[in-house]
Amino acid sequence: MSTVTHAVTDSATMLRRQLRHMLRYPVLILTAAGVPAIFLLLFVYVLGGAIGSGLGGSLGGSAGGRAAYVNYVVPGIVLMTVATSAQSTAISVATDLTTGVVTRFRTMAIARVSVLTGHVLGSLIQTMLSISFVTGVALLIGFEPTADLGGWLGVVGVLAMITFAVTWLCVALAMVTDNVATASNLPMPLMILPMVGSGLVPTDSMPAWLRWFAEYQPFTPFIETLRGLLTGTPIGDSAILAVGWCAAITLGGYLWARRLYNREPTG
Amino acid sequence: MTANHRQPAVAATAVRKAYGDHVVLDGIDLDIPAGSVFALLGPNGSGKTTMVRLLSTLIRADAGDLRVAGHDVAREPDAVRAAIGVTGQFSAVDHLLTGAENLLLMADLNRLPRKERRRCVAELLERFELVDAAGKPASTYSGGMLRRLDLAMTLVGRPRVIFLDEPTTGLDPRSRRTMWEIIRGLVADEGVTILLTTQYLDEADQLADRIAVLYQGKLVATGTPEELKRQVGGGHITLRFADQRGYEHAAGVLEVVSRNDAAFTLQVAGQGDVRSLRALLDRLDRASLAVEELRVHTPDLDDVFFALTGNPVGTPLGKSVSSSVAEQEPAR
């Protein structure tokens, strides 16, 4: 029992360390929130008119055009925010593990994985803040969610679940190499996946081969669940698929990350 | 220094570590009594840091037994971690946090009683002269301050065994002396056991009860500083004469250890203390010998390695050009 309490208190300590880092060096957070916000503006104002009219009724809204497209694209952009935040977590994990203080942690009688849990919990908070910012921008440019309080709680829960999973995966990716530059690029596909899913356009507008991929990759059920909760589109079996994917990614990412962290440091 | 011989604080038996074909440690035996200071002396690449990493549970030995504070390093790493403190060669502080935050982090991780945490931090800041810098990020600290903060962080957990990996490498002479004072104080006040690694014979001599010389992954000598210096053969005094006549005359009068006829230099035995120097000068005076240059040579790491291994270490340790001519020839 005391090992569990130690793991909790040590993780809380590491989380405090992480929050101090964020407050002192907010550049990573600003990037993680700023990039998706810019993408949102680009998609809505540069492409939104054309895509919205082109897709017409398949967007589900009656209004069509740019206004309908805002409602369609926000869930995808929100998941892009999750991905950019996870990427910034990968950078900070990779950087952190090269520092002497983490070597010190390894020689201390603390819950070993707490170094990583601190990063993941810190990232969870950071991602939620970034998502709030991006959602705020979306509301300002005409996003009209229909969710009630229960719906919003569901949104927060689903986003926390996805962020948790993706972050553990990125923590592991950050430790695959000793090189910070490589570590920062490995999570790049996560940025692309929302686009190669139902994030920007419905998958039935894609060529058959791509559509197959788009429908079976995890970000599509993530997006569909989120879209359903926010704007009332049908969710179907997306919710249960999203939970399954998240459980698998979290477990895989966690075990992989733990194994990589416990590797004997080289040199 | 009183050594407690009941149980060794650190014991190593036939420890081996290799990275691929490169054997870093090849059959190391160590026995460090509790409450003593032990120095592992060796040049770069001799395996000192690897030894510290093994003892501090960072890496695993390929063969052999390691025990720290009564616990087996391989089987009970957490018990070992609870007993040790490590201050590495590269600063193990969080550069993004302030000095005080770093210490508080250690207090939290060591799970000190809540009420004691702030007090512990304040005490250590005071003791290590970091009060003024407590609120500044560690990234702004000087080398000496970082080393002090590093050691202070190590002490938060009240370790019984402390590993100091090259604690003064890269420090200026004054910061180095400060570190020495701090290390001496630790042993005197808290009775901890210290294993330190160093490249400097004088540092080992200043601080350690016993010294082991590590060379290419093997221990080539172990003993007290005095024993080691006896093995090395003590120091000598080099005399250079202006001309052949004075040189030959002196060679006849003094007990010469070695001579260099081409450079008109003689070496005589002597530790360089005032009494033996005065005696030597008196003899030179009585014989009316005019000495052009006199140099006192105390044994350094070069001498230790030369004496123990027959190989000089490739690191120049403050030898002047003029002396290298005089000192290359003689057999030591």
**Final residue of a domain: which of B196, B213, B230?**
B230
Whether the pLDDT of residue B90 is over 50: the answer is: yes
Q: Please give the distance of CA A209 from its chain centroid, rounded to a whole number.
A: 26
pLDDT at position B261: 86
Same domain, B84 and B211: yes
- A230 to chain B, closest Cα gap in Å: 39
pLDDT per residue over B113-152, tens digit each?
998 999 999 999 999 999 999 999 999 999 889 999 999 9
**Final residue of a domain: which of B184, B201, B230?**
B230
Residues from chain B contacting residue A101 (CB–CB below 8 Å):
92-95, 102
Note whether B151 and B130 are within 8 A (CB): no
Same domain, B77 and B226: yes
Whether the pLDDT of residue B323 is over 70: the answer is: no
Residue B237 near chain A (CB below 8 Å): no
- Among A165, A27, A159, A167, which Cα is nearest to A93's? A167
Same domain, B274 and B212: no
Average pLDDT over residues A7-26: 92
pLDDT at position B305: 67
- Minimal Cβ distance to A13: which of B88, B94, B109: B109
Average pLDDT over residues A60-87: 86
**Final residue of a domain: which of B177, B198, B230?**
B230
- A83 to chain B, closest Cα gap in Å: 25
Tell me if A6 and B111 make a contact (CB, 8 A cut-off).
Answer: yes
Same domain, B193 and B290: no
Q: Please give the distance of CA A124 from its chain centroid, rounded to a whole number.
A: 9
Same domain, B214 and B240: no
pLDDT at position A56: 67
Residues from chain B contacting residue A98 (CB–CB below 8 Å):
none
Torsion angle in degrees (nearest 10) through CA of B137, B142, B144, B148: 0
pLDDT per residue over B253-274, tens digit each?
888 877 888 888 888 877 667 8
Number of domains within chain B? 2
Nearest residue of A to residue B19, measured between CA atoms:
A267
Residues from chain A contacting residue B59 (CB–CB below 8 Å):
264-265
Same domain, B116 and B159: yes
pLDDT per residue over B264-301, tens digit each?
888 887 766 788 888 888 888 888 888 888 888 776 66
Specify the CATH number for the domain of residue B151: 3.40.50.300
pLDDT per residue over A206-261, tens digit each?
999 999 999 999 999 999 999 999 999 999 999 999 999 999 999 999 999 999 99
In degrees, rounded to 5, the angle at the alpha carbon of residue A87 between the alpha carbons of residues A82 and A88 is: 100
Tell me if A109 and B82 make a contact (CB, 8 A cut-off).
Answer: yes
Average pLDDT over residues A7-33: 90
Same domain, B207 and B241: no
Specify the CATH number for the domain of residue B263: 3.30.70
Same domain, B33 and B113: yes
Same domain, B180 and B38: yes
* Whole-angstrom distance, CA of residue A163 vs CA of residue A83: 8
Average pLDDT, chain B: 84
- A261 to chain B, closest Cα gap in Å: 12
Same domain, B97 and B11: yes
* Containing structural domain, residue B306: 235-298+300-328
Q: Please, which residues bridge with residue B37 across strands? A: B194
Whether the pLDDT of residue B311 is over 90: the answer is: no
**Tokens standing for residue A123:** 């990232």
Same domain, B255 and B273: yes
pLDDT per residue over A129-144, tens digit each?
999 999 999 999 999 9
pLDDT at position A57: 61
- How much is the ipTM here? 0.86
Q: What is the 3-state secondary structure (H, E, C) of chain B?
A: CCCEEEEEEEEEEEEEEEECCEEEEEEEEEEEEECCEEEEECCCCCCHHHHHHHHCCCCCCCEEEEEECCEECCCCHHHHHHHEEEECCCCCCCCCCEHHHHHHHHHHHCCCCHHHHHHHHHHHHHHCCCCCCCCCEHHHCCHHHHHHHHHHHHHHCCCCEEEEECCCCCCCHHHHHHHHHHHHHHHHHHCCEEEEEECCHHHHHHHCCEEEEEECCEEEEEECHHHHHHHHCCCEEEEEECCHHHHHHHHHHCCEEEEECCCCEEEEECCCCHHHHHHHHHHHHHCCCCEEEEEEECCCHHHHHHHHHCCCCCCCCCCCHHHHHHHHCCCC
Tell me if A107 and B58 make a contact (CB, 8 A cut-off).
Answer: yes
Same domain, B254 and B157: no
